[in-house]
Amino acid sequence: MNNHTVKAFDEELGVLSSKINEMGGIAEAMLVESIEALVKGDKARAEEVIRQDKALDALQQEIEDLAVVFIAKRQPMANDLRHVMGTVRIAGDIERIGDLFKNIGKRVRAMDAAMVGTRTLSGIQNMARMVQGQLKLVLDSFSQNRPDLAREVWLHDGEIDALHNSLFRELLTYMMEDPRAITYCAHLLFIAKNVERVGDHATNIAETVHLIETGEPLAGPRPKADDTHYTKGLKAE
């Protein structure tokens, strides 16, 4: 796309984008760290994740402030306006993602490390890997202005939901088999839910990126998550 006649316009838009990229990098690191902390029962790492959330909060605030000034000063139109508004929305989603990882960190801090059972965690690790892939892809779709990548993220969200549902069922089984594992497994349930919700935010971001780039909402058929994994009468909500 052509540059603006006013150079500062492009520079200021660039600053907003680079701050999103920065937030995205922190969120990706928090994902890796929080899951590592969980798997290894590493409380120091969990503390580190909790600490990192502050940086995201600060960046989100910065982006909002910059966007307000930008709109007041430059009165952007069309794709520029969508870009600024989209940036604010994406910053909000990443900030929420940070909260979810922080929550995982807090749970790891509180969990009984002696309970760590490898089999259960591999399910969460799988899900985390999938979400990590989604997060990376959606951040790339933003930084590379690629609505096609955003659509890909949007199309694959159902897979995370399906995995979450089966994990939910698995954890319930453990809890029924061994009531002493209930506290630990409840933490894992919430952690799995958190990871799944990060996937939802990645999808939100994908929708925003698509809107920024094309002006059209993401639409069309989307493979629906398989509901049959829900335990009878219970929903993993």
Contacts with another protein, residue ranges (CB under 8 A): 1-6, 9, 75-82, 215-216
What's the CA angle centered on 183, arms 178 and 188, to 5 degrees? 100
52 contacts 30 by C-beta, under 8 angstroms: yes
Least distance from C-beta 2 to another protein, angstroms? 4
147 or 199, CB closer to another protein?
147
Minimum CB distance to another protein smaller for 9 or for 190: 9
**Minimum distance, C-beta of residue 146 to another protein, in the bound complex (Å):** 18
Q: How far is CA 213 from CA 44, 78, 86, 237, in A?
A: 41, 10, 10, 32
Please tell me the distance from the alpha carbon of residue 60 to that of residue 113, in angstroms, as a whole number: 34
- Grouping H, G, I as helix, E, B as strand and the rest as coil, residue 145 is coil
Cβ–Cβ < 8 Å for 168, 192 = yes
Cβ at position 74, least distance to another protein in Å: 8
Least Å from the CB of residue 140 to another protein: 24
Taking a C-beta distance cutoff of 8 angstroms, is the pair 117, 182 a contact?
A: no
Residue closer to another protein, measured from CB, 179 or 217: 217
CB nearer to another protein: give 78 or 114. Answer: 78
